[in-house]
Amino acid sequence: MKFEWKGVMPAVTTKFNPDDTLDLKMFRTNIEAQVKAGVHGIVLGGSLGEASTLTSEEKIILVKETINIVEGKIPVIMTIAEQATKVALQSVRDAEDSGADGLMVLPPMRYKSTDYETVEYFKEIAKSTELPIMIYNNPVDYKIEVTVGMFEELVELQNITAVKESTRDIINIGRLRNKFGSDLSILTGVDPLALESLLIGADGWVAGLVCAFPAETVAIYELAKAGYTKEATEIYRWFLPLLELDISPQLVQNIKLAEVATGIGTETVRKPRLPLRGEERERVLSVINTGLKNRPVLPDYKSLTNVNKQLV
């Protein structure tokens, strides 16, 4: 499938049964809710998807299952997050063979590679496939920054065409856009900076809280891109306390708890993660319950007329 790196692309959670097997029934419930809300793609096996705990066989199942659910309506993106280049290349082959439409590639896991090693790692992966690739740039969590200079080398490979920008330095969106124009699509990966990022030129949003609140997330994107900044901002301000649950070491537990509250997920995580408890659990529940109590009525965000075009 040919597609554009733009719009809302949920980094979906992986659903588990109490016996630690994949819960494909609830997984389907969530993916169907995302499609109904109008998301523009599905990203599997990221950090929010508990990638480090998944087997290669489980990743294959998730890709195939998602493809069956979305029925070609939107692209299915598989994350490549491995410690060794050799293993990453096999993961790419598995994703291709399973029918994935694109890849989100993280830098080498655990080992803090040099700039040169990082670029070579990405290049070797890109040369092994024709699938379009989005580089995940998250130095806060992974301690490796993909700089503008490194992207100059990477974009020479025709299938490296996007970045999930998670440096939390919003100025970096401007740097990337000024350097590469439309040759590099930019998707924000930081939920509490999403609207700001979209308004200064990001093409899309690889989102986390969308897993529990798909319609609100897509509404913000569509309103912002159509020029309805005031309306987008009103929803975003309501959403912000929830969005901050994404920038936490316990983001998986936080977001799964939110999915339970909206009826499209379960709290079950895979060990060594454990469900939240005590004061932190109560704090997160308070944020979620306050959000649900004040949940906004959404406009018909799927049928917007571009305000900017109206003014021309």
**Is residue 177 situated within a structural domain?**
yes
**Is residue 280 situated within a structural domain?**
yes
Identify whether 272 is preceded by a cis peptide bond (ω within 30 of 0): yes
**Is residue 259 situated within a structural domain?**
yes
Residue 90, helix vs strand vs coil = helix
pLDDT given for residue 309 in this prediction: 54
Q: Could you give the number of structural domains in the chain?
A: 1
CB 28 within 8 A of CB 69: yes
**Is residue 1 situated within a structural domain?**
no
**Is residue 311 situated within a structural domain?**
no
pLDDT given for residue 1 in this prediction: 86
**Is residue 312 situated within a structural domain?**
no
pLDDT in tens, 233-248: 999 999 999 999 999 9
Report, as an integer, the average pLDDT of 42-52: 96
79 CB neighbour count, 10 Å cutoff: 26
**Is residue 107 situated within a structural domain?**
yes
pLDDT in tens, 210-222: 999 999 999 999 9
Question: Which residue do the tokens 């419930």 mark?
Answer: 29
Given a cut of 70, whether residue 117 has pLDDT beyond it is yes
User: What tokens were used for 266?
Assistant: 């379960």
pLDDT in tens, 58-85: 999 999 999 999 999 999 999 999 999 9
Say which CATH number the domain at 260 has. Answer: 3.20.20.70
- DSSP code at position 104: E
Looking only at the bridges linking them, the beta strands covering 7-10 and 160-165 are: unpaired
**Is residue 211 situated within a structural domain?**
yes
Length of the chain counted residue by residue: 312
pLDDT in tens, 105-116: 999 988 999 999
Where in the sequence is the domain holding 196, given as residue range(s)? 7-304
**Mean of the per-residue pLDDT values of the chain:** 96
Given a cut of 70, whether residue 125 has pLDDT beyond it is yes
